[in-house]
Amino acid sequence: MTDDRKTVLLTGASRGIGRACAIRFAKAGYRVGIGYTGNKEKAEETKKAVLDYIDPDDVILLQGDVSDDESAKRIMDEFLSKFSRIDCLINSAGITKDNLIAMMKPEDFDRVISVNLRGTFLMCQAAFRPMMKQRRGHVVNISSIVGLHGNAGQTNYSASKAGVIGLTMSLAKEGAGRNILYNAVAPGFVDTDMTSVLPEKTKSEINNSIPLRRPASPDEIAEAVYFLGAESNTYITGQTITVDGGMSL
């Protein structure tokens, strides 16, 4: 008997926003693919969290570097071998290598672009054919407000996240005829491992620049991702939803 429950594949799901999204979709009964690069222990923690809502047979760990085309294809193949279909793809994998441009190494620029933008492209490409055959699908790409407004010391990260927005809009036009919806979420300052390393003074200054005077939790970002990626979204495509507590006002 065919299992018609929905499926979601998430990259960068071992921590932060990706983990929160995995839990949110599991709560809704989705079968979940947890993509991660190298930290299997953290990925297992995500798996343990989603098992509060779904059975062990409804989750799979998928290790690989999304910036590598063969690895991206293998991740998708393993997911489809397990679940036979992909209803939603969440591209959350991302890295930072911050520095002012005068001191930024070209290889650090290239690596951030490779993971954040090329990785998103490769996973979208890997998902397109199965979604096309299904004649339906949802893709949500994680961008950032710095992709919309820029940020000193983050030329590589800002460029990669701006590219994700352009990629999303273009794919929305390509996928519309096949009922594949592409959207992006642009978080502001989020309380994650990535931001926890910032000095307390810097965190305080950032919080003071936010009308709500606090960072977002990963769960709050996950709610926006779920809104765009769930089956109940039948008409929103090509959009970037900013979730920043009013920071960009």
Check residue 176 and report its DSSP letter: G
Q: Which residues contact 102 (CB under 8 A, 6 or more apart)?
A: none
Which residues are the active-site residues?
A: 157
Q: Which residues pair with 119 in a beta bridge?
A: none
Q: How far apart are CA 141 and CA 91, in angstroms?
A: 5
Residue 113 is inside which H or E element, if any? helix 106-113
Q: How far apart are CA 47 and CA 155, in angstroms?
A: 34
| Sheet of strand 180-187, all strands in order from the earlier edge strand to the far edge | 59-63, 31-36, 7-11, 88-91, 137-142, 180-187, 240-243
Contact yes or no for 140/146 (Cβ under 8 A): no
> Considering Cα of 104, then 164, then 141, then 64, what sign does the dihedral take?
negative
